Amino acid sequence: MSGPAFEIVYRGKLWRLSSSAFEGKWRLAIWAHYQDFETGEWKPCGGKGAVPGCIVPADRVDEFAAVVSGIAAQLRSRRG
């Protein structure tokens, strides 16, 4: 995949969902980005001790997708 599959701004941070590989293992990455006020560029949050997102390993992506789909169905039924 080239670039994020989904983005949303929440509480001043840009959250990006994308697939990525690390040490040859594919995963779903959900990562927060902050906006650099000098350049306007969105950059990944991080640093020592920071937890700016999460990783879903490839072998659990189907489980994650099923849960998100189930939650989406609940929300659709509640909005009428």
What confidence category does residue 47 fall into, taking pLDDT thresholds of 50, 70 and 90? low
Written as one letter, the residue type at 5 is A
Q: What is the pLDDT confidence band of residue 2, given thresholds at 50, 70 and 90?
A: low
The DSSP secondary-structure symbol of 6 reads E
Whether the predicted pLDDT of 80 surpasses 70 = no
What is the set of domains in the chain, with CATH numbers? 6-79 (2.30.31.10)
The pLDDT score that the predictor gives to residue 52 is 81
* Overall pTM surpassing 0.85 (yes/no): no
19: pLDDT confidence band, cut at 50, 70 and 90? Answer: very high
